[in-house]
Amino acid sequence: MDISVYRQIQEFVQQNIQDFDKGLEASLKKFDKERVETVRSIVSQEYQKFIKNNFKFSHSGENRRKLYRDFVAGIQDEDYQPGIIGTLAIRDKTSPALAARIILEEYLKDISPDEEPLDRRNIDPALRLRVNQLLKNHALIDDRDLAHEILISKVKDHSYGPIAEAIKHSIGEEHEQKIKDQLRALNIPFSDEHVLRSRGYDKTPDVKLDVPIAVGGKVINWIESKALFGDRESHEGYLRDQFWSYWNRFGSGLVIYWFGYIKQLDSNREAGIVLTDHFPTDITFYDPKKIAKGPPSLKESRDRSSVTDLVATRRDAFSDSLSKLSLKETDNENITK
């Protein structure tokens, strides 16, 4: 994708990003000629940036307590409708799962006031562990209404929370498996990251090719799968934290951004990092017959000049000195006679 198209999508998304579902729906309708997974990935990235930028405000002590009070009031209201955490999250510029975490923490402090820390910004490790357990398994929450709201918030959240993380992990694993299946179908031997870690490598790509291939004339030693859109911020972070480390250990490689990328970011091909949005089809396989003919025949050995025929070695110079010394001794004997 050209950067001009990306900026159009980005600017439109930023105007409608506070409510993820509405922002995604509007963006898909506006940019209907682009791939659905590409637009969705861009919306997710912009939503996460939005949440991070407002995190300090939404998670301040005063706002945390206000969020919990409004949640309790909403639950007790006679016109209560399920999904109140999502509504409050949009108001406070945070995500449903993050708002649910705040409410759970405040709820546990209320039912155990003696354990409440003096500084609300410092969450007790035991309390944090309990909150994580309740978020993963809302059935453990005693309050029925709160448990139902936590469930809705987890399902509603597309970027944060245990369900969102599980989905993202599953999508990542699925696209990594695509690479392995394609390599096996082409009989290209490889080692995955689990094998590489067992060999002692700390930073490993998804796939290290045992026999290099060439893609578009570029030698490829490893392949990394990224099930997202490659924007500038993400790509620069991966270059710094991953890709150059792979290059340093294994040589040049290929990065697959399955949901597309800004084409202007593909600027390191000559340096050894190639970008694409699909598994390559223009593959050149290693053929040892084109590299070397094998050991020469006896006749070729006799006819071919060696390096020592062209450049004198120290051993040759020593032999010449011995020969000259022998000739000199022979001349001296003749003169004596």
Final residue in a domain of this structure, among 134, 160, 186: 160
- Rounded to whole angstroms, how far apart are CA atoms 337 and 327? 16
Using a 10 angstrom Cβ sphere, with 0-12 exposed, 13-18 middle and 19 or more buried, the burial of residue 230 is buried
Q: Any idea which residue has 């045992």 for tokens?
A: 210
Give the long-range contacts of residues 133-142, CB within 8 A, separation 24 or more. Answer: 134/104, 135/97, 135/100, 135/101, 135/104, 135/161, 135/162, 136/162, 141/104
Q: Are residues 85 and 72 in the same domain?
A: yes
In a domain, 293, yes or no: no
Any domain includes 82? yes
Is there a domain that residue 9 lies in?
A: yes
Q: What does the H/E/C string look like for 174-230?
A: HHHHHHHHHHHHCCCCEEEHHHHHHCCCCCCCCEEEEEEEEECCEEEEEEEEECCCE
Looking at the fold, whether 40 and 68 belong to one and the same domain comes out as no
Mean pLDDT, range 251-278, rounded to an integer: 96
pLDDT tens digit sequence for 23-50: 999 999 999 999 999 999 999 999 999 9
Residues 6+ apart with CB under 8 A from 85: 71, 96, 99, 100, 103, 149, 150, 152, 153, 156
**Do 175 and 208 reside in the same domain of the chain?**
yes
Return mean pLDDT, the chain. Answer: 85
Answer yes or no: do 76 and 104 share one domain. Answer: yes
CA-CA distances (angstroms) from residue 45 to 15, 50, 156?
14, 9, 17
Cα–Cα distance measured from residue 212 to residue 292, given in angstroms and rounded to the nearest whole number: 17
| DSSP state letter for 109 | H
Residue 75 falls inside a structural domain: yes
In a domain? residue 71: yes
Torsion of CA 74, 80, 84, 90, to 10 degrees: -80
* Averaged pLDDT, 252-277: 96
Residues 95 and 138 in one domain: yes
- Domain-terminating residue out of 111, 142, 160: 160
- 325 found inside a domain: yes
Looking at the fold, whether 256 and 302 belong to one and the same domain comes out as no
CA distance 169 to 161: 12
Rounded CA separation 275/267 (Å): 9
Higher pLDDT, 310 or 238: 238
Q: Are 178 and 269 in a shared domain?
A: yes
Residue 36 lies in a domain: yes
| Same domain as 220, residue 179 | yes
175/277 same-domain check: yes
Give the pairing of strands 253-257 and 283-285: unpaired
Query: HSE (CB half, 13 Å, CA atoms) of 109?
Result: 20
Do 189 and 277 lie in one domain? The reply is yes
Q: Are residues 132 and 63 in the same domain?
A: yes
Query: Which candidate, 16, 24, 145, 22, places its Cα nearest to that of 85?
Result: 145
In a domain, 165, yes or no: no
Could you say which of 139, 160, 181 is where a domain stops?
160
Q: What is the pLDDT of residues 310-333, one digit of tens each?
A: 333 444 444 454 455 454 455 555
The model's pTM is 0.79
132 membership: H or E segment, kind and range: helix 125-136
pLDDT tens by residue, 104-115: 999 988 877 655
Q: Is the pLDDT of residue 103 over 90?
A: yes
How many structural domains compose the chain?
4
Instruction: Give the whole-angstrom CA distance, residue 291 versus residue 151.
Output: 61
Query: For residue 60, what pLDDT is reported?
Result: 84
- State how far the Cα of 60 lies from the Cα of 170, in Å rounded to an integer: 33
Integer angstrom CA distances of residue 57 from 3, 20, 63, 92, 258:
32, 19, 7, 8, 34
| Domain range enclosing 311 | 298-336
Same-domain status, 76 and 113 = yes
